[in-house]
Amino acid sequence: MIGDLEELVLCESFSSDHEAVARSAKVVAAMGARHLGVQPEFLEIDGVTHLRWTFGTPRVLLLGHHDTVWPIGSLATHPWSVADGVARGPGVFDMKAGLVQTFHALAGLGSPDGVTLLITGDEEVGSPTSARLIEETARGLAAAFVMEASADGGALKTSRKGTSLYTVNVHGKAAHAGLEPEKGANAGIELAHQILAVAAMGRGATTVTPTVLSGGTTLNTVPAAASAGVDVRVAEVAEQARVDEAMLALRPVVPGTRLEVLGGPNRPPLEGTMSAALFSLAQELAAGLGLGPLSSASVGGASDGNFTAGAGCPTLDGLGAVGGGAHADHEHVVVAEMPRRTALLRALIEAVR
């Protein structure tokens, strides 16, 4: 397993570099073929390479991604290493160790009949080309097991917030800030009104956060344009719909300005009801395997498991690596947990397919 993990980590796969993702897909496909005895489908959508293996009539979806957030060349500053039982390197935790565990789990089944394995190439940038593919593949299946890395302490992820992304553009009118500011329509002031209105939409577990802001051209010019990015996280589908309706209902306050609201829901929430039965099953199986008690976590970050849940497929997430530091300098995997998590995944597949 360590050898397989090294092979994947040494093949850098930055999401925004489609050529690197294509190279990575070939490496992942070859590794899967070694373990499973068959090549996958290569599914290229808008230049992004995804892989899918289908065995018999599927009942179970195993879902992962082979792209990472690490730019090409990151191996020079974050080299692959294994020391004191800990593996390090770009993408080792999120989520190349999860791919290795998946291949070894399937290889140990004897026959992978009843399983579909989908490995996408653009999860880290919001799955723009793979979202529909994921939903179509998951629809009607008995379970989706998402091989994303675990939460702290190895906890499985039983709920994830859904995400919506917006850009609020304000169109105003420029004027000289000293000579005749009254002849302008200040897009900056209008954006300030909108930022306060947007931030007030959050309530309870729902967060609505203005993020990237821009506007204006020079210090002595009334800004004719300004914009704000907005990040929305929701725990329930109804909340996602409420915020979307409120965003689209925004209206200008400053006379002479005009609003343009772009974007919308990106991923639906993975609600706890979609994972409860599978988590109970995982607890039972883990006890039988002597793996100790399993814990669960609700997290704010989204994954492709949000899409499977949104398609109506019961979903359990966070079955991949145990470690920490996703997207950070201290990204790492606890090597001893890899065969333990592999055994749990294999047992889950056997119980459900």
Q: How confident is the model over 235-239, as a mean pLDDT?
A: 95
* Sequence ranges of the domains in the chain: 2-160+269-352, 162-267
Architecture of domain 162-267: 2-Layer Sandwich (3.30)
According to the model, what pLDDT value does residue 300 have? Answer: 87
Integer Cα distance of 271 and 10 in angstroms: 36
Q: In this structure, are residues 42 and 133 in contact, taking their beta carbons and an 8 Å threshold?
A: no
Judge whether 8 and 99 are in contact, CB under 8 Å. Answer: yes
Give the pLDDT of residue 55: 98
Count Cβ neighbours within 10 Å for each residue of 63-80 and write b for 16 or more, e otherwise. bbbbbbbbeeebbeebeb
Over residues 59-72, mean pLDDT = 98
> What value does the mean pLDDT take over residues 331-340?
98
Amino acid 130: pLDDT: 98
Answer yes or no: same fold for 2-160+269-352 and 162-267.
no
Cβ contact 138:309 at 8 Å: no
For 2-160+269-352, give the CATH class.
alpha beta
Q: What is the pLDDT of residue 177?
A: 97
User: How far, CA to CA in Å, does 291 sit from each of 134, 149, 273, 280?
Assistant: 30, 17, 25, 14
Beta strands 258-267 and 296-299 are unpaired
Phi/psi for 315 (5° steps) reads -135, 135
Per-residue pLDDT of 238-268, as tens digits, reads 999 999 999 999 999 999 999 999 999 999 9
Tokens representing 121? Answer: 């190439």
Tokens 């970050």 belong to 301
Alpha helices in the chain (DSSP H): 2-9, 18-36, 97-107, 131-138, 187-199, 237-248, 276-288, 305-310, 337-352
Label residue 68 by pLDDT band (50, 70, 90): very high
Query: In the block, which residue shows the tokens 């931030």?
Result: 199
Strands 296-299, 156-160: pairing is parallel
- Taking the C-alpha atoms of residue 167 and residue 197, their distance in angstroms, rounded to an integer, is 14
For residue 142 the two structure tokens come to 């008995």
CB count in 10 Å sphere of residue 305:
29
Other beta carbons less than 10 A from residue 17's beta carbon: 15
**Residue pair 40/52 in contact by the 8 Å Cβ criterion:** yes
Give the pLDDT confidence score for residue 262 in this predicted structure: 98
Phi, psi of 300 (to 5 degrees): -80, -25
Average pLDDT over residues 38-67: 98
Instruction: Give pLDDT, residue 284.
Output: 97
Confidence tier at 115 by pLDDT (50, 70, 90): very high
Radius of gyration of the chain (CA): 23
Average pLDDT over residues 289-313: 95
pTM greater than 0.85 (yes/no): yes
- Whether 95 contacts 148, CB under 8 Å: yes
Cα 333 to Cα 94: distance, rounded to the nearest angstrom: 9
Q: How far is 71 from 127, CA to CA, in rounded Å?
A: 18
Contacts of 192 (CB under 8 A, 6+ apart): none
Q: What is the pLDDT of residue 280?
A: 98
User: For position 5, what pLDDT does the model report?
Assistant: 98
Residue spans of alpha helices (H) in 201-270? 237-248
> So which residues are the catalytic ones?
67, 123
Q: How far is CA 47 from CA 15, 28, 267, in A?
A: 11, 17, 22
Distance CA 150, CA 340 (A): 13
Least-confidence region, from 155-159, 166-170, 299-303: 299-303
**Rounded CA gap, 154 and 77, in Å?**
27
* Separation of first and last alpha carbons in the chain: 25
- pLDDT above 90 for 79: yes
What's the mean per-residue pLDDT of the chain? 97
Dihedral class, residue 17 (left if φ above 0, else alpha if ψ from -120 to 50, else beta): beta
CA distances from 351 to 113, 126, 158, 247, 282 (A): 13, 31, 19, 44, 10
Using the predicted structure, report yes or no on whether residue 301 has a pLDDT greater than 90.
Answer: no
Residue 242 has what pLDDT? Answer: 98
Q: Mean per-residue pLDDT for 143-158?
A: 97
